[in-house]
Amino acid sequence: MRWIIVHHHFRPGGVRRVIEQATPHLVEGRARSVVLVGGEAPEPLWYEKLSERLAPMAVTWEADPAFGYVAEAGMSATEIARRVGKTLRRVLDAGEAGEDWIWIHNAGLGRNVVMVRELARVCRKRNVRVAWHHHDWWFENRWSRWAEMRRLQVTTLREAARAAFPAGAGWLHAGINRRDVVRLRRGFPGQSVWLPNPVEFGSRGSVRSRGDGAGARRWLAERLDGDTTSPVWLVPCRFLRRKNMAEAALITRWLRPEAWLVTTAGASSEEERPTWERFLGAARDGQWRVRISILDRAGAGSPSVESLLEASEAVVLSSIQEGFGLPYLEAAAAGRPLIGRRLANVVPDLESLGLTFPTLYEEILVSPSWLDWNQEIARQERLFATWKSGLPRSCRNWVQLPDWLREEPKRGVPFSRLTFTGQLEVLRAATPASSPEALRMNPWLSGWKSWATAGKLPRITWEPDTAEKLSGRTYARRFWKAAHAAAGVARAGAESAERVQAGFLRERLGADHLYPLLWHRDT
């Protein structure tokens, strides 16, 4: 067969990590070639490394902006559909009938519904097998996608559902956490599978070393004002609002004030840039020990993410929203402690795979007295009303008013539920972790700070079979078993997509899933 990988782009990030980790195992003994199709050419170095790993199998690529993010392509819906159809037909015509598998990533993200819809149309017509690999959803705190879809003549939730969850005979829908897959199966029984992202571990209690930690530490020192001794706490991701980066800064300040907080990449898109620039400005003004996007434009000789993990004392993941949370596993594989949020859709899956995380927290609570609370509430009420008014009328009644907008918190307010402006106010106040108020609201702080000060934060542990459960071999075996089962399933009805999306919407519009950080581009 030919294995055709479709994604909006092949930039650094979780999707690219899944592609590079899983592809060799998915195609082993099955494919004669691999084709990358995206909105832009893959980075030469990454493409070269992937090609080397897959050799002697041929790896080629096709790039057309029509496959990228609509906001970046600058094309009409008609032009996108025309160009996507033309490129797909050319790619498929280069192979033999019946030999192609398309593995498309993030179709449900809503960044280009026209491309997804056209790909589904062409593949149905040609009976091409498709695996829809879902990482994120357009309706999960990404409601700017709805306005964008409407500009592309996708004007109803029914049309949006059919674009996010395409139906086809024998097609497969893969989700990366169990909670999402439960909902997928309600619309696509026999065509849905849970595929936790693969990660390379060593044996129990050991680490598979793939990086040059010592070299990365020397490289870091040149970018940390020549500091060769202070610890580094790493956030291995791009700068997105949902990464809740101000919380990572607060955690580092409270637990390890002498540490540098470092992120690997910068703003993930132009939408994220205003918040990114405000954070950089606040860090400069406050002289915070922070370095953002340390790998952006780093040039030749820059270390890998694996090397940076090995060079760091700890990993921080303060995300309020993740589909899978690859850094949880990357920290484990690198043998590094992780300070992270106990995300309800992520951590139970990882614990079921045998991992134990000793330093996870539910929320960090702060006092309303640490910021101008009246202004914060007014700001949130204004943003909430604007955000809700932009939702489709048919689902506005599903929105639950967040608890903290009903009455003033008695014990404290979660830092994650503040606007970005409110978060920066708290950070500028520099409230010490040892203050009685901070310890009263967050009693775990004292013990964790003692560990961190001594450089003895506990590491993640895992069971003997965890490495095999998360290996590329197991991933490929689960994929092909599910694909074989789906092969005999007829095309689901259009109402299946609507049923799945409606279930997601009712859940995601609940108060537990609402965060002011994500109501507006720059709050």
For the chain, the maximum distance between any two Cα atoms, rounded to a whole number of angstroms, is 70
Rounded mean pLDDT, 509-521: 88
Asked whether residue 205 carries a pLDDT value surpassing 50, the answer given is no
pLDDT at 211: 65
The answer to whether 232 touches 220, Cβ cutoff 8 Å, is: yes
Among the residue ranges 47-51, 97-101, 265-269, the one predicted with the least confidence is 265-269
The rounded distance, in Å, linking the Cα atoms of 452 and 314 is 9
The answer to whether 375 touches 326, Cβ cutoff 8 Å, is: no
Asked whether residue 373 carries a pLDDT value surpassing 70, the answer given is yes
Which band of pLDDT confidence, cut at 50, 70 and 90, is reported for residue 161? Answer: very high
Which band of pLDDT confidence, cut at 50, 70 and 90, is reported for residue 158? Answer: very high
Rounded mean pLDDT, 76-85: 97
Q: Which CATH number fits domain 213-362+452-462: 3.40.50.2000, 3.30.1490.20, 3.30.360.10, 1.10.3720.10?
A: 3.40.50.2000
pLDDT at 273: 80
Which band of pLDDT confidence, cut at 50, 70 and 90, is reported for residue 206? Answer: very low
Rounded mean pLDDT, 253-280: 85
Among the residue ranges 85-99, 239-253, 509-523, the one predicted with the least confidence is 509-523
The identity of residue 23, as a single letter, is T
Asked whether residue 279 carries a pLDDT value surpassing 80, the answer given is yes
pLDDT at 240: 82
Which band of pLDDT confidence, cut at 50, 70 and 90, is reported for residue 207? Answer: very low
Please give the structure tokens belonging to residue 302.
Answer: 């820059």
Asked whether residue 340 carries a pLDDT value surpassing 50, the answer given is yes
Asked whether residue 209 carries a pLDDT value surpassing 60, the answer given is no
Bridge partners, residue 6, by sequence: 37, 104
Asked whether residue 57 carries a pLDDT value surpassing 70, the answer given is yes
Fold of 2-198+471-513: Rossmann fold (3.40.50)
Calculated CA dihedral for residues 389, 394, 396, 400, nearest 10 degrees: -170
Helix (H) or strand (E) holding 16: helix 14-27
The rounded distance, in Å, linking the Cα atoms of 499 and 145 is 20
Q: Would you kindly state where each structural domain of the chain is located, as residue ranges?
A: 2-198+471-513, 213-362+452-462
Asked whether residue 435 carries a pLDDT value surpassing 90, the answer given is no
The answer to whether 444 touches 342, Cβ cutoff 8 Å, is: no
pLDDT at 210: 58
Which band of pLDDT confidence, cut at 50, 70 and 90, is reported for residue 337? Answer: very high
pLDDT digits (tens, 9 = 90+) for 381-409: 999 999 999 999 999 999 988 877 877 77
Asked if the bond preceding 65 is cis, omega within 30° of 0, the reply is no
